[in-house]
Structure 1
Amino acid sequence: MKFRAIFLSDIHLGTRGCQAARLLDFLREHEALQLFLVGDIIDFWAMSRSIHWTPAQNTVVQKVLRRARHGEEVILIPGNHDESLREYVGTSFGDIRVLHEHIHVAADGRRYLVLHGDEFDQVTRHHRWVAVLGDIAYNLLVRLNAWLSLLRRTLRISGYWSLAGYAKRRIKRAVSFIYDFEDSVIHAVRSRGLDGVICGHIHSAAIREVGGLTYINCGDWVDSCTAIVEHFDGRMELVEWGAARLAQAA
């Protein structure tokens, strides 16, 4: 299936939690004129502690490079976990452009600010050590989730259940953080006279209207396996690939 644009964020290559095999399935079945990599594509934070780089993760990188060589416009917008790439903003790696942010004009004329979003996270900006500890805790939840998924398959329990996602929904402070983040992003977009925003960072995929503006979050490829696609009429759609694959298999 071909789209006008695909937006992916928070892939976290180099970690055990990265769902590279699922992402490869998605990329094989979804092509586009433009591919936006909206931050935290490579997790240098986690890789400074330990590196987990699989053949599937290698193939993800090779596939993106191949698509860029074959004419698909690929834009990389670094996030906080791959912030060292921000030193290369304004340059290109082969056929991949590196930008701090981008104004994407959809087919229907609506203008979206595309950026990772960590600049709107007060914890990441002002209390980095807290963010690092939170990242370690989140990675532990993801690893526990892998064991739980194996147990569910062994017991023949159908469906996908995420421990990290459950914890995020249940913890009141985490829910409050998500809404504070969304409000901050929308305020910034409104002040620039744009129609919406496409971001990542918080691993919480969404498309919603907020005060006449469109808030879009790509989600992640650690927990939820989600992407945003733009159809050729400008319509934006949230694709939940983990759920879609389970539905096809059922």
Structure 2
Amino acid sequence: MSVTHHRTIWLSDIHLGNKDCKTDYLLDFLNKNKADTLILVGDIIDLWSLKNKHYWPESHNQIIKLLLEQASAGTRIIYIPGNHDSSVRKFVQYNFGHVELHDTYIHTTASGKRILAIHGDQFDSVVCHNRFHAMVGDVGYDFLLFINRWWHLFQKLRNKPYWSLATYLKSKVDKANQAIERFTHAAINHARQQDVDAIVCGHIHHPSIVQDKEILYLNDGDWIENCTCIAEAFDGGLSLISWTDRCQEIARNHSLKMVSDSVTASVSKDRVA
């Protein structure tokens, strides 16, 4: 099996314990991609879902096992809790051996640029007064995921590749687009205040790369709707990777060497077996 080695990978919003977690794509990604440093940017375990209803299939155990195996094999794993696993934040002062817990974390790329990783729920007060998923208005985020789940099954029956209906529907809701824009600006402003070159967030389930003057905003997306992550190559270049049976990288390479760096297409990945 061919394995791609990255300098750094940022993953977030896996939501283990939630029935909408796309563990098949994530397991395939983790088996075919390794990194010197793996930064988990929150909502890895969905304690909100588990509180309402216990759902923990064997595939979710396999994700945890695979992450711990990578840590034991030498991958540095940094875990930044999000709002769905916020109770983990109380343990950030403790040493868990192979897994480091941080509230936020600044990573230095191979090209010497500083990237702040923060889940992003800290910006909710800027985006809206309730939980962020209210951004989809009266439709309701949980209902969008319900539709997406059945659409995914329907696509499988038709032998069609994965396509996120939830993401498409959100893109048609003005409130959602406005909230995403406010979130992006809030993250960029926070990065300026922290005197870093870039910021990586999760939380809003909207993967993107945005250059705003001297600040690069990156959102690594999620494994509920989009199945995406951010990866750093050994030259410091950054890619936003999509890992479904469409087998495409959905965004651009960034080198972070200068503000005017061009955006280029990334190499497609192997198809999910």
* Contact 2:133–2:140 (CA under 8 A) maintained in structure 1: no
Give the partner amino acid of 2:205.
H
- CA displacement, residues 155-208 of structure 1 (integer Å, 9 cap, x when unaligned): 44x333222101210000000000000001101111222101011000001112
Change (3 A) 1:47 1:105: same
* Contact 2:124–2:130 (CA under 8 A) maintained in structure 1: no
Change (3 A) 1:92 1:138: farther
Computed over aligned residues only, the root mean square deviation of the Cα atoms, in angstroms, reads 2.4
Give the partner amino acid of 1:221.
W
The counterpart of 1:30, out of the listed 3, 26, 33, is 33
Question: Do residues 114 (structure 1) and 137 (structure 2) align?
Answer: no
Deviation at 1:145, TM superposition (A): 1.7
Matches within 5 A, 1:1-250: 1-122=4-125, 126-128=129-131, 137-156=140-159, 158-242=160-244, 243-244=246-247, 248=271
* Contact 1:39–1:80 (CA under 8 A) maintained in structure 2: yes
Secondary structure at 1:139's aligned position in 2? helix
Deviation at 1:125, TM superposition (A): 8.1
Deviation at 1:126, TM superposition (A): 4.6
Secondary structure at 2:28's aligned position in 1? helix
More relative contact order, 1 or 2 (CA 8 Å, 6+ apart): 1
Give the partner amino acid of 1:91.
Y
Following the alignment from structure 1 to structure 2, what is the Cα–Cα distance between the partners of residues 224 and 25? 15
The alignment of Structure 1 onto Structure 2 pairs a total of residues equal to: 248
Following the alignment from structure 1 to structure 2, what is the Cα–Cα distance between the partners of residues 221 and 174? 19
Deviation at 1:92, TM superposition (A): 2.9
Residue in structure 1 matched with residue 266 of structure 2 by the alignment: none
* Contact 1:10–1:38 (CA under 8 A) maintained in structure 2: yes
Secondary structure at 2:9's aligned position in 1? strand
TM normalised by structure 2 equals 0.84
Following the alignment from structure 2 to structure 1, what is the Cα–Cα distance between the partners of residues 50 and 228? 23
Change (3 A) 1:98 1:23: same
Structure 2 runs not aligned, ≥5 long: 249-268
Higher helix share: 1
Following the alignment from structure 1 to structure 2, what is the Cα–Cα distance between the partners of residues 57 and 40? 14
Secondary structure at 1:244's aligned position in 2? coil
| Percent identical | 39
* Contact 2:105–2:117 (CA under 8 A) maintained in structure 1: yes
Following the alignment from structure 2 to structure 1, what is the Cα–Cα distance between the partners of residues 238 and 31? 20
Change (3 A) 1:124 1:98: farther
Give the partner amino acid of 1:195.
D
Following the alignment from structure 1 to structure 2, what is the Cα–Cα distance between the partners of residues 8 and 130? 19
Give the partner amino acid of 2:92.
V
Change (3 A) 1:231 1:78: same
Deviation at 1:124, TM superposition (A): 8.3
